[in-house]
């Protein structure tokens, strides 16, 4: 009985008709406007790109800092 109820609920759920926006995105990303593909999505793409680059640069600098600190001999007291 429980199996029938769950199947009925899933199969009779209302399905929204979603508009196919793939052609719009294809036009946007194939447009020759001089931008790299990872920035063609607009301001949010640029923000995410810059945040990713900032975090990457910080992480790289932090790793190099600790490598330099670790390579130095400890001072004897």
Residue-wise pLDDT tens digits, 5-14: 665 555 555 5
Provide the residue range defining the domain that includes 67: 36-72
Stretch (H or E) spanning 24: helix 22-30
**DSSP-assigned letter for residue 32:** -
Q: Classify residue 55: in a domain, yes or no.
A: yes
Tally of domains within the chain: 1
Residue 18 pLDDT: 83
pTM of this prediction?
A: 0.61
Residue 31 lies in a domain: no
Locate 23 and state its tokens: 């052609």
For residue 27, give both structure tokens. 């036009």
User: What band does 76 get if pLDDT is binned at 50, 70 and 90?
Assistant: confident
Query: Quick one: average pLDDT of 15-37?
Result: 87
The predicted pLDDT at position 2 comes to 65
Whether residue 62 lies inside any domain: the answer is yes
With respect to residue 52, please indicate whether it lies within any of the assigned structural domains. yes
Classify residue 29: in a domain, yes or no.
no
Q: What pLDDT, in 10s, does the model give residues 40-70?
A: 989 999 999 999 999 999 999 999 999 999 9
For residue 77, give both structure tokens.
């007291």
């Amino acid at each position: 009985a429980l199996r029938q109820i769950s199947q009925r609920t899933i199969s009779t759920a209302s399905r929204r008709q979603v508009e196919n926006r793939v052609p719009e995105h294809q036009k946007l990303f194939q447009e020759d406007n001089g931008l790299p593909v990872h920035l063609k999505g607009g301001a949010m793409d640029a923000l995410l790109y810059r945040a990713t680059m900032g975090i990457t640069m910080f992480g790289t600098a932090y790793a190099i800092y600790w490598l330099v600190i670790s390579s130095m001999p400890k001072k004897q007291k």
